[in-house]
Amino acid sequence: LTHIKELGGESFDSKLLDALESNVQNVINNLAELGVTVERKLWLAKEIDTRVEEMRLLSEELEQLTRTQVQNTSTIAVANVTHIYDLLEANKKDQVYQALDALVEVDLDLTERLHELHLLAFKMLNQIEEA
């Protein structure tokens, strides 16, 4: 800007020099503002990448935990079926019916719910990994 003021000593129109000085100052201000905006955008992009990676790790852990829970409930259901066979061998019909009811109402219902939860966790993990 000092160079523009120095031009004032020459044979230039002072209004034109003032307008030029104002325009140059506006360009400088705009460039400074753009620099701040670009810096903010770069910081936000890095922050988003960091958050996405955190979400990916957490959803991966959730998927593994739900998979383990599904396996555990399957093991419990198999153990209960084995117990039902033992009750049949001992000819304990009332206990067999109770065990079958519990197997259907509790074990199979829990297994189904955990399968659904595992599927949702797996879908969420896939969505995050595709992002």
* In the chain, % of residues over pLDDT 90: 82
Q: Residue 17: what pLDDT?
A: 76
Number of domains in the chain: 1
Which strand (E) or helix (H) includes residue 13?
Answer: none
- CATH code for the domain in which residue 15 is found: 1.20.58.920
Residue 32 has pLDDT above 70, yes or no: yes
Range of the domain at 31: 2-130
Residue 4 has pLDDT above 80, yes or no: no
pTM (two decimals): 0.67
DSSP assignment of 26-39: HHHHHHHHHHHHHH
Q: Residue 14: what pLDDT?
A: 75
Residue 8 has pLDDT above 60, yes or no: no
The pLDDT-based confidence of 94 (bands split at 50, 70, 90) is: very high
Q: Which of 80, 120, 128, 127 is nearest to 103 (CA)?
A: 80
